[in-house]
Structure 1
C-alpha cells in the first residue's frame, strides 16, 4: 500500500511538473474578474452565468458562475477584445462590450456589475438544473443526492453508501477513510441526537430531506478538533426564494416506510420554513448462530457454548422543525431554528443455548433458553440562534452562533434464562431501566477580515458545555419474583467543558499559482465524573494545539491537485466512560472506563481531480493516517464475572481501551462517466489498517469497498438506476469484521411537468438474506458467529412539489433597515 501511495504521488507530481512547464497563468494569458450584485439592494447574486464571446461569435468560448458572494474569475484569456455577458433567471441580461486583455493589462477587473431584477412575477415556472453528483472543493467533497434513484424512499445511511471516502457496514456503522471516529453535524451544527446512537439517528433522517452531504477529511482550524476520522455534515433542504413553496414525499415498502413535508415562505425580509418527516422500519426477523470454545487458565477445562436463535426487530422515528430568517438590514441577518427529533427501536428474541463443559474425561451438558427484550427511545430538541453582520468591505463579516441541544433517552431491557433438559437449576433473570439526559450548549463567535485581495484572516472562539447523566435501576429474579437489586443499580454523571480559539488564513500565492488555507486551533478540555457509590472524580484536564492546512494548485482549468494535513483528537464517548456493567445479555457484558485518554491522530491526504469534456470526472485521493492512544473495543473471556451480588459464568467482557497505535493508509478513487444515455459512477476504496499494541503482535488488515452506480435515461422523463456495493471483510486485533454484497434497482417517472414523480425500488430482490459471518478470538477463547440479515425489500415512492417563486427584489434599505421610497418592488429569488 505504501508503494501504491508513492506511485500515486509520482504520477501527480508528474502532472505538476507538466503544469509548471506550461502553467495556466503564463505570460501569454490573462484573466477577467469581477463581482455581480443585485441593482436594487446591492446584495450578491450567486450562480449568475458569466460568458465571454469573441466579436461576431454567437457561442461563448469561456465562462464561469459566481460564487455565493457574487465573485467570479476566469483564467486563460488570450490577448484580445471580447464581449462579456452576465445573466441570471429573474434579472435583465447585462452585456459589457470592448473588454480588452493585453500584455500591458493582463488582469482585467470589471468591478461590481449590477443586475436589474425583472419587475414582474413569474407563475408556474419549473426550473430544472442537473447538479453534479460530486463537487470537489478546496477543503471538502460535496455529494448531491438529487438524482440518486436507489436511495429514494430510503434514509441517510442509504445516501451515505454512495458518498466518496465513506463506508457503511452491515450494522449501519459509518467509516470515513477507514475511521469510525467521525463528528456528525446537521446544517453545520452539533446535535445530541448523535450522542445516544449514531446509527439510529441516521436511520431517522429520510433521504428525501437531504440537500447534500459534505465530507471534510481534514477540517480547517475553524472546525472543532474532535473526530480523528473527520467531519460529515448533513445539509437538510431549505428554500430562501420569495413566495410560498414546498414539497411532499411519501414512500411505502415491504421493509421501510417514509414520509416528509416541507413548506417555505418568504416575503420581503422575513422568511419562515417548517418541516415534518417520519419513517418506520417494519418488523423483520434475523436468524443467528454463534459457537464459542473457551479454556480455563490451566487448560484442563474446555467449554463449548452453542447459541441458535432469532430476533425480531423494528425501528421508527420522526423529525419536525421551524426556522425563521430575518434580514434586519442589508448588513444584518438573524436566523433562528427549533428542531425536534424522536427515534427508537425494539427487539425481541429467543436463543437456545447448549453448553458442554469437559473436565478431562468427564463432561457436563447444560441446555437453556434465553428470552430477551430491549427497547430504546430518545427525544431531542435543538435550538439555534445565528446572527451575521457584513460590512462595506468585501468578504468582511462577523458571525455569532448560540446552539443548545437537549435529549432524553431511555434504555429498557429484560432477560430470562430458563434451564431445560431435566435440570433443576433455578432460572436467572433481570429487568433494567436506564433513563438518561444529554445537554450540550455551544457558543461561538467568528470574524473574517480581508487584508488584501489574495489574503484573508479568520479568527474566533467557542465554548462547549456538555452535561450527561443517567441512572440504572435493576431488578433480579429471586425466588420466582423480580426484586430491586441495589448492587446492580447506580447513577453516573459526566460533565465536560471545552474552550477553543483559532486563527486561520486563506491565501493565493504566486499570481494564483497556489491557493490554500492554513491555521491552528487550541482546545482546552476539563471534565468531571460522579457515581452513586463514589466521590466526584476529576479527570485530568488537557490542552491541544491542532494545526491544519490545505494547498491546492490548478494544473489547468480541468485539472487540480491538493495536499492537506490536520492534527485531531477523539475524546472517548459516554458509553466508553461509563464504569458500570451492561448485563442485558449475561454471556456478553460490556463496561466502560472513566480514565480513558483521548485518541490523537495525524491525517495526511494527497488528491488529484480531473474533469473531461462532456462531463466525465475523476478524483483520486491517497491518504496516510497515524493515531496514538487509539480507542478500540477489546473482548476478554472470563469463566466467572461478578456484578454486585451475582456471579455470572462464561462471560465475554467487552471494554474500550487506549490500544497502542493505528495506521491507515490507502487510496480512494471516484469516477463519473456519461456515455450517451448512460451515466456510470464508481467509488473504490482500498486501505490497509495496521494496529500495534505493546506486548502483542502487530496486526495488518487489508480491506476494500467497491460500488458501481449505473443510470439510464429512457426519455419521456423516465430514468432507471442500478447500484451494487461490495465491502470486503477486514482483520482486526481480535478477529475479522464481516464483508457483504448488496444491490438495488430503481425507476423514476416524472409527471405533471416535472412537479411530481413516482419511483419504484427493489433492494436485493433475488436474495432474502445477506449472510454476515465474523470471528473473534483471544488467548483463551474463539468465537464464530453468523447472522442472516433480511435486506430484500420492494417499495414505491411519490414526490410532489408545489408553490410559486416570485423573482422580485426588496426595496433598498438604509443601514437602519428602513425602506427607501424611490426604488422598485420587493422580493429576492435565486
Structure 2
C-alpha cells in the first residue's frame, strides 16, 4: 500500500510537470534619476487568466532579481513595485523562450497615487523599512483556514508542532490585531480562533513596547511581533464558533467563542471545559485536538500554560474550565482602551514515582519515592490597558491588573533511603492538606515625552505591586531512622501562613542626542524596594485538649524582609540604517535587611555593590541577512532563605540552614545569532550560540551521616557554566504550482558544568548533548500532506568523583504527521510519535504514540463532525531520566491514556461591508 501511494504521487507530479512551462525571468531594478540600484523591490508574476500568483521574489542590494519556476499557463504578467515609486508591469509569453532577461528596469518616482494603491495591494510581499508585509490574497490555504494555517504558508515563517512561531529563526512573542492586543497578546487564542478570510495583511517587525514605538527607539531584535490587519469591509459584524465532544473513559470537551467587531470597537467572549488536559482554545483545529494542544507547556509541578496564561495546579489528569471576555475601543482621538477578564479553574490528579542513585566521595546510596496528589485551583484575572496620547509628543500608558487565586490540595508521599547494599536506613511518610487564598494587584504607568526633531526624549515608569496570601496546612507524618541509633518521630500539626509583599519600582531615562537621530547618550536611574512579611505559626496536636494548641517554635517564623536596589547607569547608543550599537554600564547598590521577631538573633543587614554591563551589536547586511551579538555582566544577591542562618527542620531527614557569609554571584553572558532568508532560492538559515559563566555561584553544601540523614547549607563555587548553540536550514522547493516540498535540517548543542559539595568534596558534573534533526513536508494540491521528522540525541555526563557512573546514551524520536482530503469534505489526520531512550532504568524505554482524527464537513462547510482517537496504541508514557552533579533520577507519573471521542463544531460569520449580513460561505 505504501509503495502504491508513492507511485500514485509520483505519477501525478510527473503529469503536472509535463503540462508546465519552465521559466527564468531576470533583470536589474534602479531609480530613473540617480540610476541607483533598488534593494527589496517586490517582483511577482501573475497568470493573465485569473491574476493568481505564480511566483515572487525581491531584488538584492544591487537591484538584481531572478524568478524561476514552472507554470501551467504560457501567458503571464510581471509586476514590480517599491514604496514611493511608480509600478512596472510587462506581459510575457513563456512558450517563446524559457529564459527572459529584461535588462535594466528604471522606476520613476511616484506619480499616480491611486494607481500605486491598486497595484501595491496585489504584491505578495512588501518591505517597508523594518517591516515585512504579506498580502493575504496571494497565499492560498484550505477552506475554513485560521490564522495559524495562513502563517504556515508565508515564506520564512515556521509554526512547529507545539505552536511556537518563528520568523527567519526569531521567535514571535506578540500578536496584535489591528495594532491592538487580542486577549492579552495570547498567540494561541489569536492564531487558532481568527479566520484567515477576514485578514488583509500580515505585518512582521521587531517587538517594541508602545513607549519604544512612540519614542522612536529600536525594538527587541531577537523577538518578532505579528500584526494582523483586518479588511475594512470585514471589520464589522459577528463571528465565532461552538464545539462539543464526548468519548470513552468519560472524556469530554466543549468550547465556544463569540466575537463582535465594529471598526475600532471589539468585544469577544470565550468559555470551555474538558478533562483531556487541554486548555480549550484549540477545539476548532483538528490537528490540535489530541489533548496536548498547541502552545501548551507543562511545568514540573504539573501546572500548564498556553500563551503565557497558567492553568491548573498539578500534573497527571487535568480537568479544566475557562471563561473570559475582552474589550477594545477608541474614545476620541488619542484615547485607547483594552480590557480583559479571564477565569481558569482546574482539578488535577497525579500518581508519580522516582528512583535516585546518589554518588558520595566514599560510597553510594539510593532513594525511592512514591506520591499522589489532588489539586483544585481557581484563578480570576483582570487586565486593563489605557493609552492616552496627550499630543503628538506626549504619551501616557496605564496598565493595572488584579488576580485572585484560590487553591486546595492533598498530597501524600512516601520516601525511603537505602545504602549501597540496598538496606533501608530511613523512611519518611507524610500526608498533607492545604488551602490558600492569594490576591495580587499591580499597576504600571509609562510616561514618554519627545523633544525636538533630533530624537531626544524623557521616559519615566512607576510600578507598584501588592500581594497578600493566607492559608492553612495540616501535616501528619512519620519519620523513622534505623541503623545503630534508631529513632522515630510522629508529627500531627497545623500551620497558618500569612504572606504580604509591597513593591515599588521606578525607572527614569533621558536621551541626549549627540548626532541627530544617530548617536545618543541615555542617562538612566532605577529604584526598587520589595518589602516581604512572613508569619507562619505551627501548632502540634494536644491530646489533652484534642486540638492544635502547642506552639512549635522550630517550625514557625515571623519576619520582615526588605530588598532595596538603586542602579544609576549610562548608555551609549549608535543607530543607523545598517547597524546598531549600544553599551551600558551601571552601578548596582543593593541592601538586604531582615527583621526577625521570633528569633531576634537572626536579624541581619547586608550591602552588595557591583558593576553591571550590557552591550549589543546588530548589523543588517541587506534585506536578507543580519547578525546580532550581546554581552552582559549581572550580579545576583543571595535570597533570604539562603542567607538567614535558620534551620528548616520540616523534614528531619533533610535539614536545611542558611549561610550569612554568602557572596553575590557574578554571571557573564554572551549571545550571538545570524539569520538569512534568500527570497530568490526560498532558503532560510538561522544560527545561534550563547553561554554563561558564573563565579560565586550559590550551591548546596550537604553532609550525610551513616544513617543517610542530610544536613544542608549553601556555599559559593566558581566555574559553573552552560552553553547552547544550534543551526536551522530550510528550503522550499516548488515542483510546480500544486506540489511543494519544504526541507528542514537542524541541530542543537547544549552543555553545562554544575557543582555541589558533598561531605566537603566538590562534586562536579559535566554534560554535553548534541541533537541533529531532519524533516520535510510534502504537499500536493491541498489533498495530501506528509510531514516526517527525526531527532537523534547523543548525551554524555561525566563525574569527577566516580567515572564509573559516567552516563552516555543515544535517544531517538520519530514523528510523522499526515493529512488527506479524499473525498473533498473528509479530512483524515494522523500524528505518530516514536521515542526510544535506552538508558531509562525500571521504566519503558520505547513507546509509540499515535493520534488520529477523521473530520467531515457538512452544512456547506459551516460545521464539522469529528471522530478522534487519542493514543491509539495505548502506549503513552512520560518516563524520563535526568543526571545532575551528584545523582541520577528516573521518574514516571500519570499520563492521559487512550480514549475515543465524537465531536461536533460549528462556525458562524456575519462580517461584511458596513455590517451587512452575508451568507455563511467559507470558500475563497
Alignment of 1:499-578 (within 5 A): 499-508=566-575, 514-532=579-597, 533-534=599-600, 537-577=603-643
1:493 paired with 2:560, answer yes
More relative contact order, 1 or 2 (CA 8 Å, 6+ apart): 1
The CA deviation at 1:243 is 1.6
Partner of 1:618: 685
For structure 1, which segment, 563-572 or 370-379, has the greater mean C-alpha deviation from structure 2 after superposition? Answer: 370-379
Determine the C-alpha separation between the residues in 2 that align with 1:396 and 1:244.
Answer: 34
Determine the C-alpha separation between the residues in 1 that align with 2:457 and 2:858.
Answer: 44
Partner of 1:662: 720
Determine the C-alpha separation between the residues in 2 that align with 1:371 and 1:602.
Answer: 43
Alignment of 1:278-297 (within 5 A): 278-290=343-355
Determine the C-alpha separation between the residues in 2 that align with 1:576 and 1:459.
Answer: 34
Determine the C-alpha separation between the residues in 1 that align with 2:228 and 2:678.
Answer: 32
Alignment of 1:261-410 (within 5 A): 261-269=325-333, 270-290=335-355, 306-313=368-375, 315-343=377-405, 346-352=408-414, 369-375=429-435, 378-393=438-453, 395-410=455-470
Determine the C-alpha separation between the residues in 1 that align with 2:498 and 2:175.
Answer: 25
Alignment of 1:625-664 (within 5 A): 625-633=692-700, 635-638=702-705, 650-653=708-711, 655-664=713-722
Partner of 2:491: 428
The CA deviation at 1:242 is 5.8
The CA deviation at 1:763 is 8.2
> Structure 2 length as normaliser, TM-score?
0.56
Partner of 1:195: none
Determine the C-alpha separation between the residues in 2 that align with 1:260 and 1:356.
Answer: 50
Partner of 1:415: 475
Question: For residues 625-672 of structure 1, what are the alpha-carbon distances to aligned partners after superposition, in whole Å with 9 as ceiling and x for unaligned?
Answer: 221111334554356xxxxxxxxx754455543222212234122445
Partner of 1:442: 505
Tell me which of 574, 599, 602 is aligned to 2:665: 599
Q: What's the secondary structure of 1:488's corresponding residue? A: coil
Determine the C-alpha separation between the residues in 2 that align with 1:424 and 1:775.
Answer: 32
The CA deviation at 1:393 is 1.0
Determine the C-alpha separation between the residues in 1 that align with 2:190 and 2:658.
Answer: 35
User: Relative to 1, partners in 2 of residues 1:603 and 1:353: Cα closer, same or farther, differing over 3 Å?
Assistant: closer
User: Relative to 1, partners in 2 of residues 1:670 and 1:632: Cα closer, same or farther, differing over 3 Å?
Assistant: farther
For structure 1, which segment, 379-388 or 244-253, has the greater mean C-alpha deviation from structure 2 after superposition? Answer: 244-253
The CA deviation at 1:30 is 5.8
Question: For residues 440-480 of structure 1, what are the alpha-carbon distances to aligned partners after superposition, in whole Å with 9 as ceiling and x for unaligned?
Answer: 21111223344234323333222111112212212235659
Q: Are 2:645 and 2:659, in contact at CA under 8 Å, matched by a contact in 1?
A: yes
Q: Are 1:637 and 1:653, in contact at CA under 8 Å, matched by a contact in 2?
A: yes
Determine the C-alpha separation between the residues in 1 that align with 2:206 and 2:654.
Answer: 36
User: Relative to 1, partners in 2 of residues 1:364 and 1:265: Cα closer, same or farther, differing over 3 Å?
Assistant: closer
1:467 paired with 2:531, answer yes
Question: For residues 163-194 of structure 1, what are the alpha-carbon distances to aligned partners after superposition, in whole Å with 9 as ceiling and x for unaligned?
Answer: 9799xxxxxxxxxxxxxxxxx9999xxxxxxx
Partner of 2:23: none
1:771 paired with 2:864, answer no
User: Relative to 1, partners in 2 of residues 1:608 and 1:305: Cα closer, same or farther, differing over 3 Å?
Assistant: closer
The CA deviation at 1:129 is 9.9
**What is the root-mean-square deviation in Å for CA atoms of aligned residues?**
6.2
Determine the C-alpha separation between the residues in 2 that align with 1:803 and 1:583.
Answer: 64
Determine the C-alpha separation between the residues in 1 that align with 2:166 and 2:407.
Answer: 22
Q: Are 1:313 and 1:346, in contact at CA under 8 Å, matched by a contact in 2?
A: yes
Partner of 2:265: 244
Partner of 1:119: none
Determine the C-alpha separation between the residues in 2 that align with 1:661 and 1:797.
Answer: 57
Q: What's the secondary structure of 1:393's corresponding residue? A: coil
Unaligned runs of 5+ in 1: 1-23, 34-50, 66-76, 97-108, 111-125, 137-142, 152-158, 167-183, 188-203, 223-229, 640-648, 808-830
The CA deviation at 1:64 is 10
Unaligned runs of 5+ in 2: 1-29, 41-57, 65-76, 86-102, 121-127, 130-144, 177-183, 193-203, 213-219, 230-260, 279-319, 734-738, 814-834, 836-848, 915-924
For structure 1, which segment, 274-283 or 399-408, has the greater mean C-alpha deviation from structure 2 after superposition? Answer: 274-283
User: Relative to 1, partners in 2 of residues 1:298 and 1:769: Cα closer, same or farther, differing over 3 Å?
Assistant: closer
1:688 paired with 2:751, answer yes
Determine the C-alpha separation between the residues in 1 that align with 2:362 and 2:558.
Answer: 38
Q: What's the secondary structure of 1:696's corresponding residue? A: strand
User: Relative to 1, partners in 2 of residues 1:31 and 1:130: Cα closer, same or farther, differing over 3 Å?
Assistant: farther
Question: For residues 406-455 of structure 1, what are the alpha-carbon distances to aligned partners after superposition, in whole Å with 9 as ceiling and x for unaligned?
Answer: 2224465433235899x996633433333212222111122334423432
Determine the C-alpha separation between the residues in 2 that align with 1:746 and 1:371.
Answer: 40
The CA deviation at 1:544 is 2.7
Determine the C-alpha separation between the residues in 1 that align with 2:222 and 2:626.
Answer: 23
Q: Are 1:379 and 1:408, in contact at CA under 8 Å, matched by a contact in 2?
A: yes
Q: Are 2:400 and 2:442, in contact at CA under 8 Å, matched by a contact in 1?
A: yes
Q: Are 1:709 and 1:723, in contact at CA under 8 Å, matched by a contact in 2?
A: yes
Partner of 2:27: none
Q: What's the secondary structure of 2:400's corresponding residue? A: strand
Determine the C-alpha separation between the residues in 2 that align with 1:435 and 1:236.
Answer: 42
Determine the C-alpha separation between the residues in 2 that align with 1:346 and 1:148.
Answer: 35
For structure 1, which segment, 767-776 or 465-474, has the greater mean C-alpha deviation from structure 2 after superposition? Answer: 767-776
Q: Are 1:315 and 1:345, in contact at CA under 8 Å, matched by a contact in 2?
A: yes
Determine the C-alpha separation between the residues in 2 that align with 1:596 and 1:744.
Answer: 51
Structure whose alpha-carbon radius of gyration is higher? 2
The CA deviation at 1:564 is 2.6
Determine the C-alpha separation between the residues in 2 that align with 1:237 and 1:321.
Answer: 21
